[in-house]
Amino acid sequence: MGFYADLLQILDSTLRLSTPLLFACLAGLFSERAGIFDIGLEGKMLIAAMASGAVAALTGTVWMGLGAGILASLCLAAIHGVASITFRGNQLISGVALNFLASGITVLVAQRLFGQGGRTPALSGDARFGEIVLPLTETLRPVPVIGPFYADVISGHALLVYVALLCVPLTWWVLFGTRFGLRLRAVGENPGAVDTAGVSVIRMRYTAVLITGILCGFAGAYMATALQAGFGKEMTAGRGYIALAALIFAKWRPWAALWACLLFGFFQALALRPDVVENVLTVKVPVPALDALPYVLTVLVLAGFVGKAIPPRAGGEAYVKER
Amino acid sequence: MTTNPAIELRGISKAFGPVQANSDINLRVERGTIHGIIGENGAGKSTLMSILYGFYKADAGEILIGGQPVAIPDSQAAIRAGIGMVFQHFKLVQNFTVLENVVLGAEDGALLRPSLAKARKLLADLARDYELEVDPDEVIEELSVGHQQRVEILKALYRQADILILDEPTGVLTPAEADHLFRILRGLKEQGKTVVLITHKLREIMEITDAVSVMRRGEMVATVTTAETSPEQLAELMVGRKVLLRVDKTPAVPGRTVLEVENLRVSDADGVERVKGISFSIRAGEILGIAGVAGNGQSQLLEVLGGISPATGTVRVNGDAIDLSGRHSNGQTRRARGIAHVPEDRQHLGLIMDFMAWENVIFGYHNDPAYQKNRLIMDNAGIVREAQAKMKRFDVRPPIPTLQAKSFSGGNQQKIVLARELERAPDLLLVGQPTRGVDIGAIEFIHQRLIELRDAGKAVLLVSVELDEILSLSDRIAVMFDGRIMGERDPAATNERELGLLMAGIAGEGAAA
């Protein structure tokens, strides 16, 4: 059973590590489906992580931290919106600039507040999201195979893990079952059609960008108050980019986004356990190779090896009324 | 009910910076009629209709719908006032179904399902009443252009439009599709709807409208009853002077064979075969017109012959085979062989819009020793002088070589390209859509130049989606459909109906292999 125990452990970390990816990926999905490319997921996660870590440390309440994280992320989202929707700026440049801004300002603020070299103090107790033990965990544990899987993999995560998972069907329903979703998808494909139908392109796109901000806030807050116990410099470590890669891998679809994020989270979990990888494959795989896997897969998708990834057609273009 | 006109515009004016697009426009469109609005490019037709649909705000003036003054600040208000608009470039979401496109923006509630169900029922009724059949579950990109246009009309009717404005609706249709559209429009008229048809095609105006308003340089110059006017009178009103509508030409005197194409095959970037083994030839002193609905391989044919994309098969010019692999040839080597190319898409392939006219006048011939001062430096002053002379000869307005290409109107841009290609007296001229987006006055000029080139003993390959143009210029007509030549016809012995059938892929006798 040693291998199964290892596997459960890896799957357990997979779920934990997939959660920020999933939040960020769904965040990007809303924005890009509305035609606004957002390379600034990373920056929004980072600033949310710092804000939530700091506020949770100062107030001792994780909920205040979560709120602060969402607010901070919303601020960056709003700047991205103003730059790329109102002023029709280049969306990639705006996103990159915001990433730089977040990278610098998080350390600066954390240092000014706490003087711990750009970190926020370690969180404990109510200042962190605790692990939730799902009902029936102990009852089911003796059941072979399924019991330990339920107890060790499914149960025992922070609330936000389950929230992230619930966001998948929710996003799917919003996108394909509601008026808002229809208009959101339309505005990313052909804003002219939305405009001539008498719906405001600007308002739709701002709404989408703000939803992105909220979801990135969740992603960042999860990083600082659940996955880790506090904010550390550059703690998102490229997860915003991996989430973008997952979004492309998933071809901008919510359920596929779930599987892509779980897959990429699984790679990250493997990178934490090179010993298990070595035992299974009988060769030593360098950790950087595992880290690179999500990007390699994304390049393969973009190159057309795994079906065709067609981005929303109006993506990246500011809308200008034309006759 | 009332005698109030469906639309009444009073004193509408609109300026874009220094350009007065509409000045003091008055218009009365009677209820239950088909009203044509005709005018050259830039005459202000589209601006006027955009004001009516809430895209632009008029600087001055008043809009009355059914006798009531209304403010139309946005499209939502226009829709509320009962106005529906079918744009020249459809405003459809390509990967949505027909149903989703119809419902978009006119949903009944926050949930989609009930709206879609209601739309499905209504669409079935509309389809029956107006010959507007279209599969509600089909995705737009799978539909033909004619069907996509029906979806646009359905969108307007679903929003209970009483007034339907169509902007250049037949530009992308086959003659058969256009006939169907006209049947639909007549049906709408019988049901008491008002139709406004914006077009530059005089024939359509004569065929279907009850009244027609003519615009020229931002002003409404006349509104006449269609039955009491003639195409000649309308053309004169549009341009402000007498225009020759028919091209004057003598019978062709074909000489030796200049271009021979054998079993030419072209595949696009996705590996889809777009030209499927065509063969034809052109002799000196004749114009071969290629008719067809856009997207049936004509563009690829031009690009291959122009040296822009690769192909397989054999092409001989003046008896010598030319390279089709693309490895040893490009637009410049083609020009060196006496093949000049006036591309279909002049703004992307024909000109560099940010460059000045004099630079554009020598592109493709810029390595000519005559343009070099020495091995390093070009003789710019000389080029500018020459460009100016060419622009004068081709009546480019204004004839200022230092203006950027993008600051000329469509017709004058085309004249710059023609000046570059024709002044070299090529053996073979490839010309695609020579008068797309060009004013009537300039069309006349361009057609005359093409005939002159032919009479000078040159071969011309003319690709155009305008059947009138093909019929009036060509000495022989080949019709392309789905990458093949459906047949060749003598322009004197054929008509639009026959060509239209070929364009729709219905083969007649004499189809070329």
Name the residue facing B111 among A177, A183, A313 (closest C-beta). A177
B104:A178 CB<8 A: no
Alpha-carbon distances of A187 from A30, A192, B99, rounded to whole Å: 11, 8, 17
- Give A203's contacts in chain B (Cβ within 8 Å): none
Superfamily per CATH, domain B257-350+426-512: P-loop containing nucleotide triphosphate hydrolases (3.40.50.300)
**Residues of B engaging A, defined by a Cβ cutoff of 8 Å:** 46-47, 50, 53, 55, 74-76, 78-79, 85, 87, 89, 91-96, 100-101, 103-107, 109-113, 115, 155, 167
Tell me the backbone φ, ψ of residue B441, rounded to 5 degrees: -60, -45
Confidence of residue B512 (pLDDT cuts 50, 70, 90): very low
Confidence of residue A32 (pLDDT cuts 50, 70, 90): very high
A323:B95 CB<8 A: no
The minimum CA-CA distance between A210 and chain B, rounded to whole Å, is 19
Confidence of residue A292 (pLDDT cuts 50, 70, 90): confident
What SS3 state is found at B308? coil
Alpha-carbon distances of A104 from A43, A96, A97, A100, rounded to whole Å: 10, 13, 11, 6
pLDDT tens digits, one per residue of B47-91? 899 899 998 889 999 999 999 999 999 899 999 999 999 988 899
Name the residue facing B75 among A178, A181, A198 (closest C-beta). A198
- Give B78's contacts in chain A (Cβ within 8 Å): 198
Average pLDDT over residues A29-33: 97
What does the DSSP 8-state code read for residue B372? B
- Give A180's contacts in chain B (Cβ within 8 Å): 110
Provide the CATH number for the domain formed by A2-125+159-302 in this structure. 1.10.3470
How many other CB atoms are there within 10 angstroms of residue B493's CB atom? Answer: 8
Q: Burial letters for B172-208: b for 16+ Cβ neighbours within 10 Å, e otherwise?
A: bbbbebbebbbebbeebbeeebbbbbbbbbbebbbeb
* Alpha carbon B209 to its chain's center: 21
With 80 as the cut, is the pLDDT of residue A323 above it? no
With 70 as the cut, is the pLDDT of residue A226 above it? yes
Average pLDDT over residues B344-362: 91
Confidence of residue B506 (pLDDT cuts 50, 70, 90): confident
Confidence of residue B497 (pLDDT cuts 50, 70, 90): confident
- Give B75's contacts in chain A (Cβ within 8 Å): 195-198
pLDDT tens digits, one per residue of B119-163? 999 999 998 888 888 999 999 998 888 899 999 999 999 999 999
Residue pair A43/A72 in contact (Cβ under 8 Å)? The answer is no
Average pLDDT over residues B471-480: 94
> What per-residue confidence (pLDDT) applies to B244?
67
pLDDT tens digits, one per residue of A87-124? 999 999 999 999 999 999 999 999 999 999 999 999 99
Instruction: List chain A domain ranges.
Output: 2-125+159-302
% of chain B at pLDDT higher than 70: 98
> What per-residue confidence (pLDDT) applies to B500?
85
Of all residues in chain A, the one with the smallest CA distance to B75 is A198
For residues A299 and A133, the model is more confident at: A133
Angle CA B362–B368–B370, to nearest 5: 95
Residue located via tokens 């203006």: B403
% of chain A at pLDDT higher than 90: 74
> What per-residue confidence (pLDDT) applies to B303?
92
The minimum CA-CA distance between B60 and chain A, rounded to whole Å, is 20
- Give B167's contacts in chain A (Cβ within 8 Å): 323
Confidence of residue B229 (pLDDT cuts 50, 70, 90): very high
How many other CB atoms are there within 10 angstroms of residue A178's CB atom? Answer: 17
pLDDT tens digits, one per residue of B382-409? 999 999 999 999 988 888 899 899 888 7
Q: Do domains B7-239 and B257-350+426-512 have the same CATH topology?
A: yes
Q: Which of B2, B394, B307, B112 is nearest to A175 (CA)?
A: B112
pLDDT tens digits, one per residue of A9-19? 999 999 999 99
Q: Which residues contact B107 (CB under 8 A, 6 or more apart)?
A: A179, A182, B115
Q: Burial letters for B15-52: b for 16+ Cβ neighbours within 10 Å, e otherwise?
A: eeeeebbbbebebbbebebbbbbbbbbbbbbbbbbbbb
For residues B215 and B173, the model is more confident at: B215
What SS3 state is found at B474? coil
> What per-residue confidence (pLDDT) applies to A306?
66
Supply the pTM of this predicted model: 0.81
Confidence of residue B424 (pLDDT cuts 50, 70, 90): confident
With 50 as the cut, is the pLDDT of residue B513 above it? no
Pairing relation of β-strands B287-291 and B459-463?
parallel
Confidence of residue B435 (pLDDT cuts 50, 70, 90): confident
With 70 as the cut, is the pLDDT of residue B509 above it? no
Q: If you average pLDDT over every residue of chain A, what do you get?
A: 92
What is the identity of the amino acid at A321?
Answer: K
pLDDT tens digits, one per residue of B252-282? 899 999 999 999 999 987 788 999 999 999 9
**Residues of A engaging B, defined by a Cβ cutoff of 8 Å:** 176-183, 185-186, 189-190, 192-199, 313, 321, 323
What is the token pair recorded at B233? 């009178």
- Give A196's contacts in chain B (Cβ within 8 Å): 53, 75, 85, 87, 91
With 70 as the cut, is the pLDDT of residue A322 above it? no
How many other CB atoms are there within 10 angstroms of residue A166's CB atom? Answer: 10
> What per-residue confidence (pLDDT) applies to B464?
92
With 50 as the cut, is the pLDDT of residue B1 above it? no
The most confident of A38-47, A149-158, B361-370, by mean pLDDT? A38-47
Among A185-189, B285-289, B509-513, the minimum mean pLDDT is found in B509-513
With 80 as the cut, is the pLDDT of residue A192 above it? yes
Alpha-carbon distances of A160 from A103, A166, B57, B254, rounded to whole Å: 24, 10, 49, 81
Q: If you average pLDDT over every residue of chain B, what do you get?
A: 90
- Which of A173, A175, A179, A201 is the best mutation test for B, with the most CBs of B within 10 A? A179
pLDDT tens digits, one per residue of B314-328? 999 999 999 998 888
How many other CB atoms are there within 10 angstroms of residue A271's CB atom? Answer: 20
The minimum CA-CA distance between A315 and chain B, rounded to whole Å, is 13
- Per CATH, which fold does B7-239 belong to? Rossmann fold (3.40.50)
Alpha-carbon distances of B176 from A167, A289, B190, B247, B468, rounded to whole Å: 50, 61, 21, 25, 15
ipTM of the complex: 0.90
- Give A185's contacts in chain B (Cβ within 8 Å): 93, 96
% of chain B at pLDDT higher than 90: 61
Instruction: List chain B domain ranges.
Output: 7-239, 257-350+426-512
Q: Give the number of A-B residue pairs with CB atoms closer than 8 Å.
A: 78
Peptide bond into B114 cis (omega under 30): no
d(CA A182, CA B478): 45
What is the token pair recorded at A40? 């600034």
> What per-residue confidence (pLDDT) applies to A127?
92
> What per-residue confidence (pLDDT) applies to B190?
94
> What per-residue confidence (pLDDT) applies to A283?
86
